[in-house]
Amino acid sequence: MGANNKIVITGAGGFIGGALVSLLRRQGRRDLRAVDVKPVDEWYQRFDDVENLSLDLNLKENCETTAKDAVEIYNLAANMGGMGFIEHNKALCMLSVLINTNMLLAARKHGTQRFFYASSACVYNADRQQTFEAPSLKEEDAYPALAEDGYGWEKLFSERMCRHFREDFGLQTRVARFHNVYGPWGTWFGGREKAPAAICRKVIEAKVSGNRTIEIWGSGNQTRSFMFIDDCTEGIQKIKDSNILEPINLGSSEAVTINQLVDMAEDIANIKLKRNYDLTAPKGVNGRNSDNTLIKGYLDWEPSTPLRDGLEKTYRWIYDQYMARERGDAGVVRELSTTVQS
């Protein structure tokens, strides 16, 4: 087992996985294996000097191929999206348990030294998130369990499986609970996008079309915190390298209402829109924020990119993507979404 040298990133064709591959490359790592179910030419970011594999990780044999020679595995593959997706696809979300189960088994078999698992704030008990006052969720608030139906329950179960693979089999698992991640190279249309990207896109649509209205899901008073992608990938590495054995929050503690998020996007775009509230649309819990006491205690660090700064970068990136698509410049869109960066 001593020859293991590969660093494996699953879900590498997606938002966070692609950003993590990019960071590892910038750190000089070249022994990278990137895996995703999507065909490689559909990955958000793709790097030709990385071993890129298109494999369905629901299947055990593909997880074996993925984990072979792996010293570290970052398991970021999941069938997921924003509220619009997870409220309407509970069975599909729960089926990600196949990925996590088979990846844990394969990691154990191949002697992987570290296994990072991407959990979610959706594991938290819904009763703790009924107020609009942005309750700060502590790690202990996941129990007694009343997770987000479907997606959140799968995450909670897989967290627990990571714990027991560590306790019973000695596989060194580390688990972070991500709170809403956003940034360039993320999903921004198609139904799986999350609030920051969706709002940036809607503001851009209004600006370009001249139709100065915006539809907002829910009352707009829901509170959330949003973590910029660079903070997320930095935190993933810190937690993976740490001795933090329990699942830990990885999120920003700068809570805003959805209305405030729209204010920021309007300010960036230099536009004011009439807001129409769709109270029947999926809107998730009323309030949620990340309590960062534990991560600050362990790492003397927390995600710190101000939302206004991260949103501006995200807006500019989506704007370029949007305009390329408007021009019917499919080549540009593809290039923008798969550019090999140095």
Q: Which residues are catalytic, by number?
A: 151
Binding status of residue 60 toward ligand NAD by CB under 6 A: no
Of 82 and 135, CB closest to ligand NAD: 82
**Shortest CB 270 distance to ligand NAD, Å:** 27
Which one of 6, 8, 9, 17 is in contact with ligand NAD (CB under 6 A)? 17
Note whether 227 and 251 are within 8 A (CB).
yes
Binding status of residue 258 toward ligand NAD by CB under 6 A: no
Binding status of residue 58 toward ligand NAD by CB under 6 A: yes
Nearest Cα residue to 240 out of 4, 83, 3, 9: 9
Binding status of residue 230 toward ligand NAD by CB under 6 A: no
Place of tokens 């933090």: 244
Distance CA 132, CA 96 (A): 30
**Please, which of residues 170-189 interact with ligand NAD by CB under 6 A?**
178, 180-181, 187
Which one of 7, 8, 9, 15 is in contact with ligand NAD (CB under 6 A)? 15
**Shortest CB 276 distance to ligand NAD, Å:** 25
Of 62 and 273, CB closest to ligand NAD: 62
**Shortest CB 90 distance to ligand NAD, Å:** 14
Binding status of residue 194 toward ligand NAD by CB under 6 A: yes
Binding status of residue 36 toward ligand NAD by CB under 6 A: yes
Distance CA 303, CA 241 (A): 17
Distance CA 104, CA 73 (A): 10
Note whether 93 and 79 are within 8 A (CB).
yes
Binding status of residue 288 toward ligand NAD by CB under 6 A: no
Euclidean distance between the first and final Cα of the chain, in Å? 32
Binding status of residue 86 toward ligand NAD by CB under 6 A: no
Distance CA 148, CA 322 (A): 32
Which stretch in 35-43, 163-171, 197-205, 275-283 sits in contact with ligand NAD by CB under 6 A? Answer: 35-43
**Please, which of residues 104-143 interact with ligand NAD by CB under 6 A?**
118, 120
Nearest Cα residue to 48 out of 247, 340, 291: 340
Note whether 153 and 100 are within 8 A (CB).
no
AA letter at 75: N
Note whether 286 and 222 are within 8 A (CB).
yes
**Shortest CB 41 distance to ligand NAD, Å:** 13
Binding status of residue 16 toward ligand NAD by CB under 6 A: yes
**Shortest CB 44 distance to ligand NAD, Å:** 7
3-state secondary structure of 127: helix
Distance CA 190, CA 198 (A): 10
Task: Copy the structure tokens of residue 171.
Answer: 């596989």
69 phi and psi angles, rounded to 5 deg = 65, 15
Which one of 26, 29, 30, 38 is in contact with ligand NAD (CB under 6 A)? 38
Positions touching ligand NAD (CB under 6 A) are 11, 13-17, 36-38, 56-58, 76-80, 99, 118, 120, 178, 180-181, 187, 194
